[in-house]
Chain A
Amino acid sequence: QVQLEESGGGVVQPGRSLRLSCAASGFTFSDYGMHWVRQAPGKGLEWVAVIWYDKSYTYYAESVKGRFTISRDNSKNTLYLQMNSLRDEDTAVYYCARDVRSARYDFWGQGTLVTVSS
């Protein structure tokens, strides 16, 4: 069965960096685009970034552009999110999600919490 498992969250000071991982299993990872979506405490869902199945394209939300980098290692079935220059407003649960036809998410991970605080 399809599984996505995020890791790497934690407490980090403003201005510091953190890298999230999303380990995929149960499907051919290299066939699918993958996204990161976040949810601040008590708030709604916010799309963060997407990477094409073959790494050829990446797109970012304006709120993270220039600070976050999405990447993937298809040989390791793993998606990454490198987060630099973290701000208080980046505090959220970060989900990875599988993209179907650049139209919808059919599977999500359980999320990993990132807390930016001094």
Chain B
Amino acid sequence: DIQMTQSPSSLSASVGDRVTITCQASQDIRNCLNWYQQKPGKAPKLLIYDASNLETGVPSRFSGSGYGADFSFTIANLQPEDIATYYCQSYDKRPIFTFGPGTKVNIK
């Protein structure tokens, strides 16, 4: 089974900061990785698919990169509305999806 890890588990940053979250897979998953945003009490929302593609309608301050087992997700200019938990998700063993444990982003 593929295991996904994320770091950090939580972070605090100031409005306007650049924030980066990393996600590591236990094996090579090529670019089979997505990123979701979940705000409190809401369903997750797809932000990035196939490691680096921005979902339609998602602000360009969000980006993703990586290939193989190491991936990163960046918010270029943190905004108050970005307060959320962010999850990576692998689909290398499709149709079985595996989520990372999440990274909670707060405003300092």
**A contact residues vs B (CB 8 Å cutoff):** 33, 35, 37, 44-47, 50, 52, 57, 59, 61, 95, 99, 102-106, 108-111
Contact = CB atoms under 8 A, between A and B. Distances in A.
B1 to A, nearest CB: 9
Contacts, number: 58
B8 to A, nearest CB: 14
B43 A108 contact: yes
Given A50-B95, A102-B91, 6 more contacts: A45-B36, A46-B99, A50-B96, A103-B32, A106-B55, A111-B43
A66 B5 CA distance: 28
Interface stretch (B15-23, B44-52, B74-82): B44-52
B44 A35 contact: no
A59 B99 contact: no
